[in-house]
Structures are given as C-alpha cells and as structure tokens.
Amino acid sequence: MRSSLVKISAVLAFVALTAYAPAVAPHAVAAASGPQLQSIGPLSFGPNGVLYAADPLGATLYALDLGSQATGGAAGTANVAGLDQKLAAMLGTDAKDIAITDLAVDQRTHNSFVSVMRGQGPNAKPALFRVDGAGAVTEIKTESVQYTSVALPNPAPATEGRGNQRAQMITQVRYANGRVWMSGVSNEEFASKLWSVAYPFTKADTGTSLEIYHDNHQRLETRAPMYAFIPYTLENQPYIIGAYTCTPLVKFPVSQLTPNTGSKFRGTTIGEFGAGNRPIDMILYKKAGKDFILMANTSRGVMKVPTDTFASATPLTMPSNQETAGVPFEKIPSMVGVMQLDLLDATHSVVLQGAQGQPLNLQSVELP
Amino acid sequence: MRHRFVAVVLLSAAVGCGRGTAPEPTGGALHVSLHPAASRVLPAYVDVTGLSASELASLRAAHLGEAEWQSLFTVRVGGEAAGLDLPAVGGRYAVTDRALTFTPRFPFDPGRSYRITFDPTKMPRPRQAASVTEVVGLPPVATVPSTVVTAMHPSADVVPENLLRIYIEFSAPMGSHSGLDFVHLLERTGADGGTEVPVEGSFLPVDANLWSPDHTRYTLYFDPGRVKAGIFPNRQVGRPLVAGRRYVLTVDSGWTDANSLPLKAGYRYEFKAGPAVDEAIKMSDWKIKTPLAGTREPLVVTFAWPVDHAVVVRALGVETTGAASSPGATSALPIVDGDIALQAHDTRWVFTPTAPWTAGEYNLVALSFLEDPQGNRVGRAFEVFDTGSNEPTPDAFRTAFTVAPRR
C-alpha cells in the first residue's frame, strides 16, 4: 500500500522534541507588522483591545493590535441583514463560498469583528471585518496590523509522501488573568486538549498543553473535545467552565494546571444539557446582580444558565435516566438559529442568526 | 451590455499595465475589460481605457477614497442586475499611463460573472457621457466532475460495533463543506440485504473543519455519546452499529470538490458489525517478525486488531536501545530511519530501514497517542473507569526486539 509509505524518523523526532520546553530565560516576542494568516477563527478580545485570532492551518495564535482600524466607526453594532451575502460580495464571491468562523465584540467600541474564510478547500483564504454602530462593514487590512504570535503545539510536521494528514481545529479562544486559553479537536486522535500560554508572549513560553478529562456517568473517565468554555471565578478560585457535545457542563480548577507533560487536568461534570447537540459559544453576563452564562447550541437552542449553583453543585457521577440533569438552566425560545454569539454590552448580546440555507443576519438581542 | 467569459488566449496580448496605445489627448470611447492573470504575481484585473491623458492625470492627483473609487468604477458579483443592492468588490485601484485599473483583493473566481461599471460623470473632471457596463468572467477551471472517493478506513468486511472514527479519502482536493449532509449509514436488512434502512443520528454533530490540510481526507466521527456504554444516548437508543448486523456507508455524489463540482460518482462501503473492541492496545499482543542483520528486510509487526490508519503513521517507530536513558524518555533517541507501509486492513505494519540492519537490540516504540479506530490507546481503553489517579501517562511505550547476525 504505497499511499501510506512515509519517512517516519522525522515524525518521531518531532514529537520527542515537543515534550520538552527550552530551559532559557523568557524574552518578549517583538511586535511585527502584517501577520501572514493562513486561516482565521476563533477570535477573542483581551484587555486594551488586543484581538486574539487563532490560525488553525498555520498552527499559530496571533495577538493583533488593530490600531486605527479598530476605531473610527460609530460606536455599537447595528443590525445587518444578510451579513454573509454582504461579506461575500465584498470578497468577490458568493455567500455559499464563504464560512464565517467567529464573531467577537471589542468592548471599548462595542463594534463587532467577524472572521471569514473565503473560498473552498485548501485554497480558502482568511479575511477579517468590522461592523460598526451605523451598520458600516469594513474589511480590516491585515497587512498593516501590528501583531505578536506564538506557535501552537504539535502542528503537522513535514513528512515525505502523504503520510501525515493531521489537522487541528480550534474550537474556542479566551483570555483570563494573564493567559490565553484555547481548546481544540484533531481530525485524528480523539482527545481533549486545553492549551494555555502567558500573554504577552515570550520566546521561551511555548504554552502548556494538557489532556483534560471529566467524570461521566458511572465514573467513566471521559476524554472528548471541548467546544465552548469561559474562564470563571468560583469561591475566589479561577476555573474553566467548559461545554462538550451531548452536552455535559464541566468545571476545571485552574490550580490543577501544571506544566508536566501527561498530567491530567481533571474536571467535574455539574450539568447535562441534552444529547445530539454541540455547543457553539458561551458568554458570561450579569443581570439583577447575578451572573449567568448564555450558551448557543447547534440543535438545542440558546440556554441561560445561572452560575450561583456551580460552586456547590453535586458532581454527576451516577447514571441518569433523565435527558438533562445537574445545575438548572432554561431555554430561551425567542433566540433561534443562532450560529455565533458574543456579549455586545451590559444589556445585549450580538448574534449571527439564520435558518439553514437562508441569509445570516447580525443582530443585537437583549440579554434574557 | 454583453456577457462573455474571457478567453485567455485572446487577451494575452493586452495583459500588463502601461502597455498598448497611448491615451488620446481628448479621450476616446470608453471600454472596460477583464484581463486574466499573467502570473502568480500579476493576478487578473479589470481596467477602463479611452480616458484622456488629462483625465488620467486628474484621477491620479485626486487621491480618492475607496468609496469614491467604487462609486466611479464599480465591480460587483453577478451578472445582469443581480446584486445591485450588495456592496462592491473590495480591491486596489491604480492609474497607469493609459488606463484606470482595479485588482480585487482576492482573485476573481473562475466561472463567476462580475458586473463592471464605469461612470464618467463621477470623475474629478466629469465627462458628460453614459456609463459603460460589461459583465465578464474568467473561464471555469473545470466543468466535468472527476473527483471520486478512493478509499475508506477502516476497510475490513467486519468492523467493531464501537467504531468511533472513519476516514474518507478523495482523489483530489474537496471543498470545505461538512460531510454530515452527504454521508449516510444504512442498515441492510432482509435475506439478501437488499432493504436499506437509514440509521439516524449516527455521527457527531461537528460541522467544522475535519479535513486534512490538503482537503483530500475527511474524518467522520460516530457520536461518542451513542458509542460509549452508559451515556444517556447510548442507553436510550443504543450504538449506531450493532454486532451481527449488516450496514452500508454511502457517500452522495452531491458533495462538492474544491472546484465546486460534484463527485463523479457516489461511493458505498458495505460491512458487517462485529463484537466491540473495548480494551487497551497491548504491545505484548503484537507479533514481531524480525529481520536479519546486514539486510534491508522489513520488520513486520502484526497487531491483534486493526490500528488507526492515520495515527499509526505518526505514533510507531523503531529506535536503537541504550540511549533511552530514563524510563519514559523520548528525547535524543537514535531513531532508525525508514519507510513504513500498512497492510491487511491496518493489521500489519511493515518497516523497511533506509540502511541495512546491524545486529543488536532495538525497541519498537509506540507513542502514547497511538489509537485504534475505537479510540483505545496503548495501555488505556477508550472507556475506562476513573481511578482518581493523576499520574502522568508515559509519553511512549516500548517493546524490545533483537536483530540477529546472519550466519
């Protein structure tokens, strides 16, 4: 079977090298201009308007300083009907030939930023847009954007032949307490990796990658891809609250994060939100003095989850005959067809919404 | 207004800004046209000719903003009047010594129509003349479907009922669409298996990018919530595959390739589900046929059951012993260089060294992420009860073998 013929020495050597971090003092990564993005999405804003953008194909996480391109528009985000059609037109193509990969709001201006892959297959190219409070849609000229970057762990090493076809999909990027967090799923091994790196990036810090587990029914130890998460503080301790397919909600104490290769980052399942479903996005907001998570899903709509029971929630370790269990949540029936979600301001979310095969609308929705 | 796909050969002479006849002093009839790419660094562009030298000079001096340029010289997606309410295509405007040019930020799509309009009344020095409009396009790259499914992995006649992952390989790069709308699992019932009943909700609802970087391989995951024993969906509706039953995985020909063309044909993989494989991979279960020193005979490893077709390529290798200074270490190992081949439905791994073997001790090395298609790893089954241990997993597992001298 010649198609599987591959030189393997380079592969093993590469994997061996990635297990060890260089033992040198960290040096700050110098900012440069014009990131050479091969792909784009997910996005997330950090403090001071830094836009974190994952490039899964280029196996790189970028921290973008959009400079004057982040400002100058009307504050807020206006509703834009058929946003996918407008973006496609500006990119010189049809809406069916673009993929909107994420939506993120700059909390300084409340403008929305939308990442797009233009084209089909291996030749698809990245693009980034801003939507302002007047509904103006502007393409960000990335060639003039200042950036720093860090390589993601275990990019597909170059091998001879077509032996290595591994790709890493990034499902979510978030900043919290001086670190950027990222979850992903591979098109090969079935694992759940949570990776984090200190920001500002330094030359010596290649990040910490941990395989994460959570206990499921019957105390089965589960490794599965995490699709959406937020950093959150419970009882003065930092946690990651993550959501998986089919749809457990899991809390991970950040204190367990250690840089030892192979260590387990163990989570506790505190909710089960239903089968046949994949989380898309989750945001944190405050209403009437209480914290809530708003979570968009592929087939189970939008859910509002109060966080006040998270700290004391009983771990779900026993088999349940109920489709849902654990911490309480409510469905928001007025929010349908949500494909992207972010927090717009203190009272509104912004969503990209539309029915299958129909134009996608960008609109603000009052937080429930 | 005419609609035409530009023939590359006819326009090759016109490519290149600044070439051709000089502008007439008073301006002539206005023409807009599309020029195909001349090279990778000179992509396709459109221009308007017939402008006078002074009109060109005024355009050059005006330093117009993008909105003003787009109002004057507009490129929109679609032919005829379609898309008039949509924004213009973004790109770069330039004034040469004979024309006003527009190069789109992303190359024009082959096979797509673009509507180009030049309105001379919106020039800095307006010319009172009618707008000029053309609908143009580059010829499509291909018009006849040719891409096919070349293989699926696993490929055996019987697969375990707890199968987690399938690879679908294609003869050419595919587009970006998820396989969920195009791949179907059907149970074959009846005496001759001639009745095919869809098994709904079989696959993980991931519509994102599970393509290989070159888009010639798609990864399809069965829904782990149904595969995994004890999870609610599993207890409610069971595994998608049930041991003893017959199935077919079909790929619809409507799945489009990177040229937006459908597949040349659909694909069928008929198989039977067998008992679950729900235990860890154990290297001690493998059979190793060792070569003789001084030869380039292959090392042949036969697995107890098929390993993952893709992961094994990255996760299995050979090293000489003596350098593994500490248990679990994977750094600075003298790795034996060679080629590998997978045979017998991924149950046999054949390693041919680049240089002849020397007599001595070697290790077969399995990195810890080596999996089978059910997600079972070396030393760790996919479904395992929580022991409460936070002990790190070794990076690699090893089995020693000896290359004997030739007698």
Q: Which residue among A8, A264, A322 places its CB closest to the CB of B340?
A: A8
Q: What is the mean pLDDT of chain B?
A: 86
Interval B143-150 mean pLDDT: 96
Cβ atoms A115, A342 nearer than 8 A: no
Rounded CA separation A285/A345 (Å): 9
Q: B283-403: which CATH architecture?
A: Sandwich (2.60)
Q: For residue A19, give how far its alpha carbon lies from the nearest alpha carbon of chain B (Å).
A: 8
Q: Which residue among A89, A162, A164 places its CB closest to the CB of B86?
A: A89
Cβ atoms B169, B175 nearer than 8 A: no
Task: Write out chain A residues lying below 8 Å of B175, CB-based.
Answer: 120-121
Q: For residue B205, give how far its alpha carbon lies from the nearest alpha carbon of chain A (Å).
A: 6
Q: Which residue among A86, A245, A298 places its CB closest to the CB of B87?
A: A86
Inter-chain touch B208–A217, beta carbons under 8 Å? no
Task: Tell me the torsion sign for CA atoms A298, A303, A306, A309.
Answer: negative
Task: Write out chain A residues lying below 8 Å of B307, CB-based.
Answer: none
Task: Write out chain B residues lying below 8 Å of A216, CB-based.
Answer: 228, 230-231
In this predicted structure, the answer to whether residue B88 has a pLDDT above a threshold of 90 is yes
In this predicted structure, the answer to whether residue A281 has a pLDDT above a threshold of 80 is yes
pLDDT digits (tens, 9 = 90+) for B309-336: 999 988 899 988 854 334 444 444 578 8
Task: Write out chain A residues lying below 8 Å of B209, CB-based.
Answer: 56, 167, 169
Percent of chain B whose pLDDT exceeds 70: 86
Interval B103-126 mean pLDDT: 95
- Listed range (A82-91, A167-176, B182-191) with the worst mean pLDDT: A167-176
- How is A60-93 classified by DSSP, letter by letter? EEEEEE-GGGGSSSPSS---BTTHHHHHHHHTTS
Query: Could you give the 3-state DSSP secondary structure of residue A191?
Result: coil
Cβ atoms A92, B77 nearer than 8 A: yes
| Long-range CB contacts for residues A232-239, cutoff 8 Å, separation at least 24 | A232/A284, A232/A291, A232/A307, A232/A310, A234/A307, A234/A310, A234/A311, A235/A311, A238/A176, A238/A177, A239/A310
Task: Write down the pLDDT at residue A83.
Answer: 97
Inter-chain touch B212–A165, beta carbons under 8 Å? yes
Inter-chain touch B230–A218, beta carbons under 8 Å? yes
The residue ranking higher by pLDDT, B159 or A324, is B159
Inter-chain touch A262–B225, beta carbons under 8 Å? no
Inter-chain touch A217–B231, beta carbons under 8 Å? yes
In this predicted structure, the answer to whether residue A148 has a pLDDT above a threshold of 70 is yes
pTM recorded for the entire structure: 0.89
Would you tell me which residues 328-347 of chain A have a C-beta closer than 8 angstroms to some C-beta of chain B?
none
Task: Write out chain A residues lying below 8 Å of B138, CB-based.
Answer: none
Task: Write down the pLDDT at residue A277.
Answer: 80
Q: Does A245 contact B at CB distance below 8 Å?
A: yes
Query: Could you give the 3-state DSSP secondary structure of residue B113?
Result: strand
Amino acid of residue B70: Q
Task: Write down the pLDDT at residue B380.
Answer: 82
pLDDT digits (tens, 9 = 90+) for A162-184: 456 788 788 899 999 899 999 88
Encoding tokens for residue B140?
Answer: 């499509």
Task: Write out chain B residues lying below 8 Å of A220, CB-based.
Answer: 228, 230-231, 383-386
- Listed range (A19-23, A27-31, A280-284, B21-25) with the worst mean pLDDT: A19-23
Task: Write down the pLDDT at residue B149.
Answer: 98
Residue ranges, CATH 2.60.40.3710, chain B: 149-274
In terms of DSSP H, where are the helices of B20-158? 53-62, 66-72
Closest CA to B170 of B194, B186, B153: B153
Q: Does A276 contact B at CB distance below 8 Å?
A: yes
Encoding tokens for residue B10?
Answer: 């006819």
Task: Write out chain B residues lying below 8 Å of A127, CB-based.
Answer: 106
| Residue with the two structure tokens 């206006």 | A78
Substitution target in B313, B347, B351, B368 with the highest count of A β-carbons within 10 Å is B313
Q: Which residue among B83, B114, B335 places its CB closest to the CB of A13?
A: B335
Q: What is the ipTM of this complex?
A: 0.87
Substitution target in B45, B75, B314 with the highest count of A β-carbons within 10 Å is B314
Would you tell me which residues 112-171 of chain A have a C-beta closer than 8 angstroms to some C-beta of chain B?
117-125, 127, 137, 139, 156, 159, 162-167, 169, 171
Rounded CA separation A92/B105 (Å): 8
Rounded CA separation A331/A338 (Å): 13
Substitution target in A2, A3, A12, A160 with the highest count of B β-carbons within 10 Å is A12
In this predicted structure, the answer to whether residue B155 has a pLDDT above a threshold of 70 is yes
Task: Write down the pLDDT at residue A318.
Answer: 66
Phi, psi for residue B139 in degrees, rounded to 5: -65, 150
Percent of chain A whose pLDDT exceeds 70: 82
Q: For residue A366, give how far its alpha carbon lies from the nearest alpha carbon of chain B (Å).
A: 28
**A-B C-beta contacts closer than 8 Å:** 256
Percent of chain B whose pLDDT exceeds 90: 66
In this predicted structure, the answer to whether residue B171 has a pLDDT above a threshold of 80 is yes
Residue ranges, CATH 2.60.40.1220, chain B: 283-403
Rounded CA separation B20/B200 (Å): 63
Interval A279-283 mean pLDDT: 93
Q: B149-274: which CATH architecture?
A: Sandwich (2.60)
Give B386's pLDDT tier (boundaries 50, 70, 90).
low
Cβ atoms B348, B300 nearer than 8 A: yes
Cβ atoms A148, A158 nearer than 8 A: no
Task: Write down the pLDDT at residue A31.
Answer: 82
Interval B92-121 mean pLDDT: 96
**A51-55 β-sheet, strand order:** A32-33, A146-151, A60-65, A51-55, A43-45
Interval B56-61 mean pLDDT: 95
Substitution target in A165, A317, A321, A360 with the highest count of B β-carbons within 10 Å is A165
- Which CATH number applies to B31-136? 2.60.40
pLDDT digits (tens, 9 = 90+) for A181-240: 998 888 887 777 788 899 999 877 777 776 666 655 555 666 777 889 999 999 999 999
Inter-chain touch B395–A261, beta carbons under 8 Å? yes
Inter-chain touch A90–B260, beta carbons under 8 Å? no
H/E run at residue B252: none
Task: Tell me the torsion sign for CA atoms B369, B374, B379, B384.
Answer: positive
Closest CA to A343 of A299, A287, A288: A287
Inter-chain touch A91–B105, beta carbons under 8 Å? yes
Interval A242-253 mean pLDDT: 85
Inter-chain touch A189–B311, beta carbons under 8 Å? yes
Encoding tokens for residue B131?
Answer: 């707008």
Interval B145-163 mean pLDDT: 96
| Residue with the two structure tokens 């989750």 | A282
In this predicted structure, the answer to whether residue B372 has a pLDDT above a threshold of 70 is yes
Q: Does A95 contact B at CB distance below 8 Å?
A: no
In this predicted structure, the answer to whether residue B208 has a pLDDT above a threshold of 80 is no
| Residue with the two structure tokens 């707890």 | B162
Inter-chain touch A4–B332, beta carbons under 8 Å? no
Q: For residue A183, give how far its alpha carbon lies from the nearest alpha carbon of chain B (Å).
A: 14
Substitution target in B176, B228, B352 with the highest count of A β-carbons within 10 Å is B176
Inter-chain touch B330–A320, beta carbons under 8 Å? no
Q: Which residue among A171, A188, A323 places its CB closest to the CB of B310?
A: A188
Task: Write out chain A residues lying below 8 Å of B308, CB-based.
Answer: 188-189
Cα B205 from chain centroid (whole Å): 19
Q: Which range in A8-22, A47-61, A255-269, B3-17 is most confidently predicted, on average pLDDT?
A: A47-61
**Angle at the Cα of B93 (from A132 to A126), degrees rounded to 5?**
50
Give B179's pLDDT tier (boundaries 50, 70, 90).
very high
Percent of chain A whose pLDDT exceeds 90: 55
